[in-house]
Amino acid sequence: GQQVMQIPQYQHVQEGEDFTTYCNSSTTLSNIQWYKQRPGGHPVFLIQLVKSGEVKKQKRLTFQFGEAKKNSSLHITATQTTDVGTYFCAAGQEGNFNKFYFGSGTKLNVKP
């Protein structure tokens, strides 16, 4: 299937520090979604990006879709302990808007 690389695998930050996770694809994507999964929980949809260069914000979270639609990032400003979890990107295939391949996830730990 389509390869979506996500880095870093783990990130440990002090509460108040910023955090960024990146997703990269070798092929052009139709869209990209971001999810958060708390330990022991199921993935929860955060956002979908569709347009080249798109930037969306949700409070302290900023999502970007690259100009070439091959990469995306999620940035959290001033992390809080409630941000702990694993963040996944899910890439939609070009030509198939509805089929998604997930990245391996970035596990975020926030120390109070």
Partner 1 sequence: GAGVSQSPSNKVTEKGKDVELRCDPISGHTALYWYRQRLGQGLEFLIYFQGNSAPDKSGLPSDRFSAERTGESVSTLTIQRTQQEDSAVYLCASRTGHGDTIYFGEGSWLTVV
Query: Site residues (CB under 8 A) for partner 1?
Result: 1, 6, 33, 41-45, 48, 88, 90, 96, 98-105
- How many other C-beta atoms lie within 10 A of the C-beta of residue 79? 21
**Based on CB atoms, which residue is closest to partner 1, 19 or 34?**
34
Least gap, CB of 6 to partner 1 (angstroms): 8
Least gap, CB of 16 to partner 1 (angstroms): 27
**Based on CB atoms, which residue is closest to partner 1, 77 or 104?**
104
Does residue 8 sit in helix, strand or coil? coil
Does residue 82 sit in helix, strand or coil? helix
Closest to 74 (Cα-Cα) out of 45, 34, 15? 34
**Based on CB atoms, which residue is closest to partner 1, 62 or 104?**
104
Q: Measured between alpha carbons, how far is 50 from 17 in angstroms, rounded to an integer?
A: 28
Least gap, CB of 78 to partner 1 (angstroms): 26
